[in-house]
Amino acid sequence: MVVPELRPWRAARPHVVRIADAVRPRLARAAATAKPRVTRLVRAGKPQVARVTLPKTWQYTAGAATAGLALAAGVVTAAGPWDSSGQRTAERDRAAALGRAGGTDHGGTSGAPGRPRPAPSADPVLTGLGGVSTVKSAPDGKALAKALTPLLKDPALGPRPAAAVVDVTTGRRLYGAHPDAAFTPASTTKIATAVAALSAMGADHRLTTRAALEPDTKEVVLVGGGDPTLTAREKAEGWASLRTLAAGTAAALADRGVREVTLSYDTTLYSGPRMHPIGVNPNLALVSPLMADEGRTDDSTSGPVTRVTDPAEDAARQFGDLLKSHGIKTTAPGPSKATTRAQTLAAVSSPPLSALVERMLTNSDNDIAEALARQTAIATGHRADFAGADKAISAQLRRLGLPLKGAAFKDGSGLNRADRLTPDLLTALLAKAADPSHPELRPALTGLPVAGFTGTLTSRYTDGAAGVVRAKTGTLTGVNTLAGTLVDEDGRLLAFAFMTTDTDPGNPAATQRALDRAATTLAACGCG
């Protein structure tokens, strides 16, 4: 049984209006002065702790010495199509409200009965992304061990939790507890999927859906290009629109004097089984290169929900209905394959891969994850199925020089319990994404949910390291993981990974709280 970890994504836009020009000075001020505002420190626990793996000085990235907090000086205002998911908008609004207590204004007195608690200000995480580090020394490994080891003894974390903490500036591991142990990673697998896809295709790559006409038979074939974000909704909100594709197709047919066609759909881009090994599950649809709105049966855009039985047929049926609304009569759609003679009538493309990665990570979107795993396989000459994606992701990460001992990628989403990652690999992925020599990987960081603000961390850290931690969550029954970046008390950007297994399936909230305490303590450590 899988414990759904996805929640409907909430932009959480504050009721404060600021023009963009007013934001930049505040961000600059925040970058110069802000420190994490952790309101409660976690108790250190017992002073006597068991011996743990000592920090090592292994370099994760060749260019890590110059990485640090220079993830790109203008990343907050320049890098990545954040507006496609609302993430940049939400953070800008939060940053614009820095002059107000708590980072936003709900009207009336803060904390008054019947009113929501003010959200925290976003300056620490914005500083971590766009600031320049002036800290000369990394946190002390022994001090980190003293702070973290007692927390990892929490029974809620199971019998053998594993962890790693890395200084992004130098790539040096500062703390490790079984850092090379391979665990079921759950949805933190998506970090690996993101890095592999961005490495293989580049941040500007787009996925195209097209309609083609077979000239001899007047058959219109809807050809799936693997875009899981294709939408049939009236408001496309920047994603590729099935309505736009239908309108363009109808116009092109009308120009040819064609008013009646046979309608087919082509899903041959992918190979192998469409069903994920977990079977029918509300966390994802059948894996298909053709789908509209992820085969959802309601108006949701994220989170678990019942899916249509055949996403490709459903998308083609909707496409046919849209053609009819433009005066083109069609048959009921059936599967086919576009020939080399087929003439493209119209096409629509997804936003760039950077936007897809950010949406995948922020919402923990399994459909996008499985699509990107297959696209990585196609881009690197592997078979577009689960096994081919495994080989492709492994090959891309190996090419980047990442530590793959014990790793296995049986899917792209992390829903498969046979997946394996280590804390070393997760922190190495994050450090590599920060490497200035690999700017194409940056969306693997900018897409991470922000504690207390976005995605799967929206409702977490409300009284802890909100705005300081960016992290990907991972939750299956008895499995809880957390991996991401944070800005410590001295302004240092750290990458961390906490992995657990055999946790109490009846109390996953306790495990989440224990993981959050560890991240909060790391942010508040001041262990320099």
* Each residue's pLDDT tens digit, 223-238: 999 999 999 999 999 9
Span 123-151, mean pLDDT?
66
Token pair listed for 44: 């250190």
Distance, in Å, from the CA atom of 157 to the CA atom of 140, rounded to the nearest integer, reads: 24
* Each residue's pLDDT tens digit, 14-23: 333 332 333 3
Span 165-190, mean pLDDT?
95
Kindly give the pairing relationship between strand 219-223 and strand 260-266: parallel
Of the listed 121, 190, 264, 394, which one is catalytic? 190
Distance, in Å, from the CA atom of 222 to the CA atom of 212, rounded to the nearest integer, reads: 7
Q: Mean pLDDT in the chain?
A: 80
Of the listed 364, 394, 410, 472, which one is catalytic? 364
Res 104 pLDDT > 70: no
Distance, in Å, from the CA atom of 185 to the CA atom of 423, rounded to the nearest integer, reads: 9
Measured CA to CA in angstroms, residue 479 lies from 4, 302, 405, 449, 482 at distances of 12, 22, 20, 19, 10
Q: How confident is the model at residue 344 (pLDDT cuts 50, 70, 90)?
A: very high
Q: How confident is the model at residue 345 (pLDDT cuts 50, 70, 90)?
A: very high
- Look up the pTM and report it: 0.79
Active site (annotated) includes residue 84: no
* Each residue's pLDDT tens digit, 55-102: 443 444 333 333 333 333 333 333 333 333 334 444 444 444 333 333
Indicate the Cα dihedral angle 168, 173, 174, 175, nearest 10°.
130
* Each residue's pLDDT tens digit, 503-521: 999 999 999 999 999 999 9
Q: How confident is the model at residue 33 (pLDDT cuts 50, 70, 90)?
A: very low
Active site (annotated) includes residue 190: yes
Q: How confident is the model at residue 499 (pLDDT cuts 50, 70, 90)?
A: very high
pLDDT given at position 62: 34
∠159-161-163 over CA atoms, to 5°? 165
Of the listed 84, 121, 133, 187, which one is catalytic? 187
Res 206 pLDDT > 50: yes
Span 386-415, mean pLDDT?
98
Distance, in Å, from the CA atom of 481 to the CA atom of 496, rounded to the nearest integer, reads: 11
Span 282-291, mean pLDDT?
97
- As a whole number of Å, the CA-based R_g of the chain is 24
Distance, in Å, from the CA atom of 176 to the CA atom of 21, rounded to the nearest integer, reads: 43
Active site (annotated) includes residue 364: yes
Spatial contact of 267 and 384, defined as CB atoms under 8 Å apart: no
pLDDT given at position 528: 62
